[in-house]
């Protein structure tokens, strides 16, 4: 990526690379390719004063353009960047600070790169692993300092970055992404999305998450293209800002998790739609969590009058352990949806496996010459079409393993089929393949097993959220606990805002009856939480394991029994 940026800056120095939209609207600072190259050299020179090739540097930045010279400065210096969400100003016992402390202890950084905003409340000596680690405020560097930069020796199999997983089912682990992995996945994204040098993008996803970093920022530089960046918070406050940016810049590519499309369909008003032109939107990527066909339908109907085409949707599947993209569909083709009954009906063929309780959106086929199999996680035998099992992946985008975790690396990245064929990456995701199309059904660690039958938490959550409009869609967590030696179903669910009158006692009864009829399960406990209490990972996944732990510890603050 360093060589690519240097070449872009030499070939088209004044070409616009990135612009940042202040509060999601007003156009703010810009970076040309020459600007980015100069900034990266200045950061690299400062890094070379305190760190050597292969050392790690934490990247802690607020939304904006400062992250980019810092990331590429690491590439220019041969230092391994570790992009992380900046900790909040809140109590330093909060989860963000705990995660930062754990990651710092794991990767042992030699430097911290940050901006003026974040530098004001960094912990100093409050985190033992960061004691004595020099901080570099990249905003304050002299652009001319890059003249001191010394190019390091390149190694295509050396680490390009440590991408810490978002921790939806476990504590974060550092995925070791090599330069070879990164460049292969960039080429894969370019081919799958039909990108070219004149592609225009809009990206609101965080720079520290693989979708935002690899699919948004680095793909732009790989192409020599141009992208408008936005703060995630600006989009979450008002999703119409995202669509206005797509319209304003005639963007070809932009996307996000399932929830952001649902958010737009529910919250963007007719007045905000006026003047939107989404007809140039060629790739509306959807990924990072189970994709709900109802969401795609709602969004397409809501913005048909703005020129949005359903064929622009691009459902895809990927994960940090495979750099980013693994599967994707045919460009300009409508999403593939498998719907059907979930119970036997006299022996008639069923479009979906019996255990699946909802329509599913296909995530396409393997991209970039990679191999995807469905495997029985116990016997490690390949499964035929239509059978649900674990998704295994092999290909040049599969990363080298987890930093400082040899046993987990061996188990996850060096798996072999019962036949001995391998190695493969075990994704921990469940799915099936039908007619070459991958359908993702859930996570192995989150499946609820009662009386020998598998239940996917998202099915139960969707059933409950449909019971009453006062329950916030997409903000529930169903999980299993053990009581008296038996598995029990617990559901934690947010109350929406604004909320119509809600009789909690009656709601409990309706929820229990509906879940019993639909899923043949008894709800052991329904825990209602205030609006805003359910947190997600940076990719929009519910942290079910965290809510199970909080429930077991008795630390969930229940919404009081009352009528609104």
**What CATH number did the domain enclosing 458 receive?**
3.30.300.30
For residue 410, the model assigns a pLDDT of 97
Q: What is the pTM of this model?
A: 0.86
Distance CA 412, CA 170 (A): 14
- Please tell me whether residues 434 and 511 are part of one structural domain: no
Domain range holding 428? 336-393+407-445
- Please tell me whether residues 467 and 384 are part of one structural domain: no
In a domain, 79, yes or no: no
- Please tell me whether residues 348 and 365 are part of one structural domain: yes
- Please tell me whether residues 463 and 528 are part of one structural domain: yes
- 371: domain CATH number is 2.30.38.10
- DSSP for 165-176? ---SSSS--EEE
In a domain, 136, yes or no: no
In a domain, 6, yes or no: no
Residues 6+ apart with CB under 8 A from 342: 350, 352, 354, 355, 356, 357
Helix (H) or strand (E) holding 148: none
Task: Yes or no: say if 479 and 448 are a contact pair by the CB < 8 Å rule.
Answer: yes
For residue 200, the model assigns a pLDDT of 98
In a domain, 193, yes or no: no
In a domain, 535, yes or no: yes
- Please tell me whether residues 437 and 457 are part of one structural domain: no
- Please tell me whether residues 534 and 467 are part of one structural domain: yes
In a domain, 534, yes or no: yes
Helix (H) or strand (E) holding 209: none
Cα-based distances in Å from 121 to 104, 114, 343, 508: 17, 11, 55, 43
Task: Yes or no: say if 401 and 176 are a contact pair by the CB < 8 Å rule.
Answer: yes
- Please tell me whether residues 525 and 477 are part of one structural domain: yes
Q: What is the pLDDT of residues 397-429, one digit of tens each?
A: 999 999 999 999 999 999 999 999 999 999 999
Distance CA 265, CA 278 (A): 14
- Please tell me whether residues 358 and 436 are part of one structural domain: yes
Distance CA 130, CA 555 (A): 30
Least confident of 113-127, 215-229, 288-302, 425-439: 113-127
Q: What is the pLDDT of residues 283-327, one digit of tens each?
A: 999 986 678 898 999 999 999 999 999 999 999 999 999 999 999
Please state the rounded mean pLDDT for residues 94-98: 71
Distance CA 463, CA 394 (A): 35
In a domain, 372, yes or no: yes
Q: What is the pLDDT of residues 138-164, one digit of tens each?
A: 999 998 888 999 999 889 999 999 999
- Please tell me whether residues 413 and 476 are part of one structural domain: no
Q: By CB neighbour count within 10 A (0-12 exposed, 13-18 middle, 19+ buried), where does 336 fall?
A: buried
Count of domains observed in the chain: 2
Structure tokens at 78: 């041969």
Largest CA-CA distance found in the chain, in angstroms, rounded: 76
Bond into 498 cis (ω within 30): yes
In a domain, 359, yes or no: yes
Distance CA 405, CA 106 (A): 10
- Please tell me whether residues 427 and 489 are part of one structural domain: no
Q: By CB neighbour count within 10 A (0-12 exposed, 13-18 middle, 19+ buried), where does 417 fall?
A: middle
- Please tell me whether residues 464 and 433 are part of one structural domain: no
- Please tell me whether residues 502 and 523 are part of one structural domain: yes
Q: What is the pLDDT of residues 234-280, one digit of tens each?
A: 998 999 999 999 999 999 999 999 889 989 999 999 999 999 999 99
Alpha helices by DSSP H, 402-538: 406-413, 457-465, 504-519
């Amino acid at each position: 990526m360093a060589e690519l940026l240097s070449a872009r800056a030499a070939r088209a120095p004044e070409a616009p690379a990135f612009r940042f939209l202040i509060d999601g609207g007003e156009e703010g600072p810009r970076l040309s390719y020459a600007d980015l190259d100069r900034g990266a050299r200045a950061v690299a020179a400062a890094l070379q004063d305190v760190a050597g090739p292969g050392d790690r540097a934490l990247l802690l930045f607020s939304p904006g353009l400062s992250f980019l010279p810092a990331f590429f400065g690491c590439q220019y210096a041969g230092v391994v960047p570790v992009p992380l969400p900046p900790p909040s100003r809140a109590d330093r016992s909060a989860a963000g600070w705990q995660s930062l402390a754990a990651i710092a202890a794991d990767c042992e950084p030699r430097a911290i790169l940050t901006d003026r905003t974040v530098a004001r409340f960094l912990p100093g000596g409050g985190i033992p692993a960061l004691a004595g680690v020099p901080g570099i405020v990249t905003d304050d560097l002299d652009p001319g300092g890059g003249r001191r930069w010394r190019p390091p020796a390149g190694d295509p199999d050396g680490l390009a970055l440590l991408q810490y997983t978002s921790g939806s089912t476990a504590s974060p682990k550092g995925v070791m992404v090599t330069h070879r992995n990164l460049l292969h996945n960039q080429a894969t994204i370019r081919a799958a999305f039909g990108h070219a040098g004149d592609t225009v993008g809009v990206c609101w996803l965080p720079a520290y998450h693989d979708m935002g970093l690899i699919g948004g920022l680095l793909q732009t530089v790989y192409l020599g293209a141009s992208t408008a960046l936005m703060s995630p918070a600006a989009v979450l406050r008002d999703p119409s800002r995202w669509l206005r940016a797509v319209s304003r810049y005639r963007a070809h590519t932009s996307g996000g998790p399932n929830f952001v499309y649902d958010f737009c369909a529910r919250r963007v008003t007719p007045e905000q739609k006026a003047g939107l032109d989404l007809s140039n939107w060629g790739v509306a990527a959807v990924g990072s969590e189970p994709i709900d066909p109802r969401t795609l339908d709602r969004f397409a109907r809501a913005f048909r009058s703005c020129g949005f085409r359903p064929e622009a949707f691009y459902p895809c599947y990927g994960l940090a352990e495979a750099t980013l993209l693994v599967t994707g569909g045919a460009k300009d083709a409508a999403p593939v949806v498998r719907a059907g009954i979930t119970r036997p009906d006299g022996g008639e063929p069923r479009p979906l496996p019996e255990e699946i309780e909802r329509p599913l959106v296909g995530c396409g086929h393997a991209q970039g010459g990679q191999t995807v199999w469905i495997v029985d996680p116990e016997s490690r035998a390949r499964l035929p079409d239509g059978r649900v099992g674990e998704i295994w992946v092999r290909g040049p985008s599969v990363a080298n393993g987890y930093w400082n975790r040899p046993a987990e690396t061996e188990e996850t990245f060096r798996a072999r089929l019962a036949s001995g064929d391998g190695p493969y990456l075990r994704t921990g995701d469940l799915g099936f393949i039908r007619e070459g199309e991958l359908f993702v059904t859930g996570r192995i660690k989150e499946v609820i097993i009662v009386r020998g039958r598998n239940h996917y938490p998202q099915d139960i959550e969707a059933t409950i959220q449909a019971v009453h409009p006062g329950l916030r869609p997409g903000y529930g967590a169903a999980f299993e606990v053990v009581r008296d030696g038996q598995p029990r179903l617990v559901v934690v669910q947010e109350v929406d805002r604004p909320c119509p009158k809600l009789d909690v006692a009656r709601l409990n009864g309706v929820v229990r009856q509906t879940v019993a009829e639909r899923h043949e399960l008894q709800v052991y406990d329904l825990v209602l939480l205030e609006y805003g209490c359910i947190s997600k990972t940076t990719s929009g996944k519910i942290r079910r394991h965290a809510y199970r732990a909080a429930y077991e510890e008795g630390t969930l603050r229940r919404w009081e029994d009352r009528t609104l």
